[in-house]
Amino acid sequence: MSLLELNGIEKRFGSVEALRGVTLSVEAGSVVGLVGDNGAGKSTLMKTITGIYQPDGGAIRFDGQEVTADTPGHIRSIGIEMIYQDLALAPQQDVASNIFLGREPTKTLFGFIPGLIDRPKIVAEAERMLQRLGARVPSVLSPVGVLSGGQQQSVAIARALTFGPKLVIMDEPTAALAVREVDHVLDLIRELKRQGIAVILISHRLTDVFAVSDRIVALRQGQIIADEVTAETSMNQVVSHIVGS
């Protein structure tokens, strides 16, 4: 049994058929590269998994559990994290708050007033997480909006990794990064794999995908065109899948 199983996923936006019956599985601890042209449906497919979109057809199973059309909160709680293409950060809130967004640990004030966010804990753990990632962020108290693109990316990654996920979906995580930072993300993906955490990597940079993935899946016009073992395919072949020649 695979960690994640997608069966015949369909999604329409009005008259646009973004996904037309996508069937795909991801093994625990494996890295799957998801490639495809702009508008192929990659982001839509991932957002259907994380509960942002409700599929119009098909079923999703994770860890043996039926999770089709679950809420984003529940999907996160069972161990799927996603780093969104637009990062999904709250710019006026600080780094620490963003890392713990939606999952703030709480404590009791004076022993009887409940629901107080445990700020010291959030700040300390956010700092620890960023340090572990080797991220260069000026302060966890800075509003995320003042950070550079690479720093914001680090915050989004830290948020995805703080709660021990089983599957991490990365949607174009290296698009806004400098070369040195890209290497860092690739190292991170290898490290996740070593820890048995599965990764779905969406990227336009095929060299990156080839460098870290076990399998490469190509999506075109909402359908899976190819699903190949990375070691057994070539750059040219994948390019031809993407452009459809």
Partner 1 sequence: MTTAPDAAPKPRQNRFYFRIESLVVLVVLCIVMTLLSPFFLSTSNILNILLATATIGVLAIGATYVIASAGLDLSLGSVLGLSAVFGAFLVDRLGLPWPFGIVGALFAGFAAGYVNGQLITRLRIPAFIVTLGMLGIARGLALVISSGQAIYGLPSELVYLGQGRPFGIPMPVIIFFLVAVVTHYILAHTKYGKHTLVIGDNEQAARATGIQVERHRRSLYAFSGLMAGIAGLIFMTRVNAGDPTAGLNYELTAITAAIIGGTNLFGGRGSIFGTMIGALIMGVLQNGLNLMAVQSYYQQMAIGAVLIFAVWLDQFNRKVATR
The identity of residue 34, as a single letter, is L
In sequence order, what are the residues at sequence separation of 6 or more whose Cβ sits closer than 8 angstroms to the Cβ of residue 194? Answer: none
3-state secondary structure of 29: coil
Q: CA-to-CA distance for 153 and 234, rounded, in angstroms? A: 29
The reply to whether 33 sits near ligand ADP by the rule CB under 6 A is no
Contact call for residue 16 and ligand ADP (CB under 6 A): yes
The site partner of 41 among partner 1, Mg ion, ligand ADP, none (C-beta below 5 to 8 Å per kind) is ligand ADP
Q: β-strands 80-83, 31-35: how paired? A: unpaired
**Stretches 1-9, 34-42, 66-74, 236-244: which one binds ligand ADP (CB under 6 A)?**
34-42
By C-beta, is 156 or 199 nearer to partner 1? 156
Map the footprint of partner 1 across residues 71-110, applying CB under 8 A: 71-77, 82, 84, 86-94, 97, 101-104, 106, 109
Name the packing angle between helices 119-132 and 149-161 (round to 10°). Answer: 110
Nearby residues of 163 by Cβ (< 8 Å), 6 or more positions away: 76, 81, 103
Q: Comparing C-alpha atoms, which of 80, 26, 28 is closest to residue 51? A: 80
Q: Which of 3, 9, 18, 189 binds ligand ADP (CB under 6 A)?
A: 18
Give 86 or 232: the residue with its C-beta nearer to ligand ADP: 86
Q: Is 44 in the site for ligand ADP (CB under 6 A)?
A: yes
Strands 4-13 and 80-83: unpaired
Q: Which is nearer to partner 1, 96 or 192 (CB)?
A: 96
Residue 115: which of ligand ADP, Mg ion, partner 1, none does it interact with, CB under 5 to 8 A by kind?
A: partner 1
Stretch near ligand ADP under the rule CB under 6 A, chosen from 40-48, 100-108, 129-137, 193-201: 40-48
Which residue, 55 or 126, is less far from Mg ion as judged by CB?
A: 55
**Token pair of 150, please?**
């690479």
String marking each residue 117-156 x if it binds partner 1 according to CB under 8 A: x-x-------x--xx---xxxxxxxxx--xxx--x-----
Residue with tokens 């009887």: 112
Pairing of strands 65-66, 57-62: antiparallel
Binding site for ligand ADP (CB under 6 A): 13, 16, 18, 36, 38-44
